[in-house]
Structure 1
């Protein structure tokens, strides 16, 4: 079965962050996201891999 696409609200809840942080990470940290019309959609597995690889860490955390 295919992995469901998540909304910005869903991925924010999944990561325990705000929706504003999601949009900031898309713009500034190349968070994996797919634009569908006006909406951003996410695959939890892509985002989880991105976080595990340290891309969500602040510059001081790396």
Structure 2
């Protein structure tokens, strides 16, 4: 059985963040997302793996 594609709203709820944060992570942190027409679609398993690898982590503060 194939995994369903999630919308930006769905993945934001899944991660507990705002939709604006999702779009920022796509642009600045390489969050795995697939553009289909004008819409971004996500696979929860890809996003979960990205989070586990530290993709959503805040950058280290440089002193």
Q: TM-score normalised to the size of structure 1?
A: 0.95
Cα RMSD (Å) of the superposition? 1.0
Distance 1:55 1:30 in 2: 7
Deviating more after overlay: 29-38 vs 52-61: 52-61
- The answer as to 2:6 corresponding to 1:9 is no
More helix by share: 1
Distance 1:60 1:15 in 2: 21
2:21 is matched with which residue? 21
Considering only CA atoms, is the larger Rg found in Structure 1 or Structure 2?
Answer: 2
Count of residue pairs brought into register by the alignment:
61
Deviation at 1:60, TM superposition (A): 2.7
Following superposition, the deviation at residue 6 of structure 1 comes to 0.1
Q: Which runs of 5+ in 2 are unaligned?
A: none
* TM-score (structure 2 length as normaliser): 0.94
